[in-house]
């Protein structure tokens, strides 16, 4: 059952590791499964609360980065991962539809809770479901999913930010987008508008691949080239997560940093 393998951040800083055997012996046509997973979430330097939340629950991983002021942001990101854990089945017939429905429900839950002092709260989300047919990913905001596959790093998500849009349309370079203050101005997030439509995409994956979800606190300090080098080193996932957090800090990321990753078996 998914609940038995569920972990969420509970407290300021937290690290979890998890491993279990795939449900059935592997055959050439067997769906991919999670063979090990890990997560790490650390509060930003000088911040009073960690507004990121994560979920590692068997084949379902998610990272959410709350906005709207300390307590409200923390609550929004927690609501997002709680809603996903409740609503996403372990092995749905249609993973794209299952993830989309859960994110849309999370949007309603955050809006319903955004009253009084919490008005205006919201959260990013990146969620991935590993199973039949590969890795299905949904996102809104600037938390990211990466897949290490065939010794190469692929980013599976596009940021919903003004800077990312400007880079996508060729108005600024990717390098400028990384440093632009507009990278933090989100065009889409959970809880911001009455309707949130997400279009999850399914990606091919193979045993040995590593899926990594992260909040912007990670990618602000660790560029894709550095991330690829760390994944190429083949470190155990808990060491990979700890090292990436340390690298992001060393490179000046003061934000909350959250990573959830899975080795595909």
Which residues in this chain contact Mn ion in the complex, by CB under 5 A? 65, 215-217, 255
Minimum Å gap between C-beta 219 and Mn ion is: 10
The values of phi and psi at residue 74, to 5°, are -65, -40
Q: Name the one residue in this structure whose structure tokens are 């050439």.
A: 28
Nearer residue to Mn ion within complex by CB, 34 or 76: 76
Minimum Å gap between C-beta 181 and Mn ion is: 14
Nearest partner of 70 among 49, 52, 87, judged by Cα: 49
Nearer residue to Mn ion within complex by CB, 259 or 263: 259
Nearer residue to Mn ion within complex by CB, 64 or 84: 64
The residues near 152 (Cβ < 8 Å, ≥ 6 apart) are: 228
Minimum Å gap between C-beta 83 and Mn ion is: 19
Helix, strand, or coil here: 127?
Answer: strand
> What's the gap between Cα 262 and its chain centre?
11
Nearest partner of 139 among 76, 68, 63, judged by Cα: 63
Minimum Å gap between C-beta 121 and Mn ion is: 14
Q: Name the one residue in this structure whose structure tokens are 């991330």.
A: 227
What is the full DSSP assignment across 159-187?
A: --BHHHHHHHTTSS-HHHHHH-GGGG-BS
Nearer residue to Mn ion within complex by CB, 65 or 230: 65
Minimum Å gap between C-beta 134 and Mn ion is: 28
Nearer residue to Mn ion within complex by CB, 104 or 216: 216
């Amino acid at each position: 059952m998914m609940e038995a393998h569920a972990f969420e951040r509970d407290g300021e800083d937290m690290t979890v590791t998890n491993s279990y055997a795939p449900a059935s012996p592997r055959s050439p046509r067997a769906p991919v499964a999670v063979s090990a997973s890990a997560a790490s979430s650390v509060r930003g330097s000088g911040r009073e609360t960690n507004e990121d939340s994560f979920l590692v629950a068997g084949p379902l991983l998610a990272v959410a980065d709350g906005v709207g002021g300390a307590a409200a942001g923390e609550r929004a990101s927690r609501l997002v991962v709680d809603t996903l854990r409740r609503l996403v089945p372990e092995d749905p017939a249609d993973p794209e539809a299952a993830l989309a429905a859960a994110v849309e429900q999370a949007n309603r839950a955050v809006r319903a809770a955004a009253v009084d002092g919490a008005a205006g709260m919201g959260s990013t989300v990146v969620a991935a479901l590993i199973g039949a047919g590969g890795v299905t990913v949904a996102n809104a905001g600037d938390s990211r999913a990466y897949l290490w596959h065939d010794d190469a790093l692929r980013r599976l998500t596009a940021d919903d930010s003004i800077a990312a849009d400007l880079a996508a349309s060729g108005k600024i370079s990717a390098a400028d987008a990384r440093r632009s203050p507009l990278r933090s101005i989100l065009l889409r997030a959970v809880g911001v508008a009455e309707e949130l439509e997400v279009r999850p995409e399914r990606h091919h994956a193979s045993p040995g691949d590593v899926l990594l979800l992260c909040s912007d606190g990670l990618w602000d300090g660790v560029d894709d080239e550095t991330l690829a080098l760390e994944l190429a080193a083949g470190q155990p996932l808990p060491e990979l997560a700890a090292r990436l957090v340390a690298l992001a800090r060393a490179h000046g990321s003061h934000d909350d940093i959250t990573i959830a990753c899975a080795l595909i078996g």
